[in-house]
Amino acid sequence: MPVFETSSAAETRSLGRRLAASLKPGCVVAFYGALGAGKTTMIKGIAEGLGVRETVKSPSYVMATVYEGVLPVSHVDLYRVSGPEGLGSIDLEGYISEKGVCLIEWADRAEETLPEERISVHIEFSGTGRKVRIQGLEVLPD
């Protein structure tokens, strides 16, 4: 499992750009990490890498946004979902498509609903930086 230490938001974002190059249509990427860990920051980099020109913002209030890049990029934020019944308020499966990629923040809130075949990104605070573990990929090409 590829593991990285990033010492700034810019580095996390650039790691996102790198990960974007490994994503194919239909990919689901689940993000795990505490408040402020850097999930949205990394997703901004992925979107950039996939050619999204629009500014990616945290979709907390709308729960999901679909951007157009070289393929559709769904950004889902499950922060406000609590318990399995809370998931009823969002059509998560509707945002997972064979044509695009689906990036899910607070994925632990939907663990049961997530496809088994996915990439999981775990971000932890590490000193003043972050430790980023990418599960579901053997290597992350440069």
Ligand X SMILES: Nc1ncnc2c1ncn2[C@@H]1O[C@H](COP(=O)(O)OP(=O)(O)OP(=O)(O)O)[C@@H](O)[C@H]1O
Inter-CA distances, 9 with 38, 43, 58, 64, Å:
7, 11, 15, 22
Scanning 8-135, the segments in alpha helix (DSSP H) are 9-20, 39-49, 83-86, 92-95
CA 36 to CA 126: how far, in whole Å? 13
Regarding 36 and contact with ligand X (CB under 6 A), the answer is yes
Inter-CA distances, 34 with 51, 70, 120, 128, 130, Å:
27, 30, 14, 15, 11
Regarding 22 and contact with Mg ion (CB under 5 A), the answer is no
Regarding 135 and contact with ligand X (CB under 6 A), the answer is no
Regarding 40 and contact with Mg ion (CB under 5 A), the answer is yes
Q: Which C-beta is closer to Mg ion: that of 35 or that of 139?
A: 35
Q: Within positions 45 to 84, which residues make up the interface with ligand X, using CB under 6 A?
A: 58, 79
Contact string 59-78 vs Mg ion (x = CB under 5 A)? --------------------
Regarding 120 and contact with ligand X (CB under 6 A), the answer is no
Interacting stretch for ligand X, rule CB under 6 A, among 19-27, 34-42, 85-93, 112-120? 34-42
Binding ligand X (rule: CB under 6 A), the pick from 29, 30, 39, 92 is 39
Give the list of residues 6+ apart from residue 33 with CB closer than 8 angstroms, or none.
Answer: 39, 121, 122, 123, 124
Regarding 14 and contact with ligand X (CB under 6 A), the answer is no
Contact string 78-97 vs ligand X (x = CB under 6 A)? -x------------------
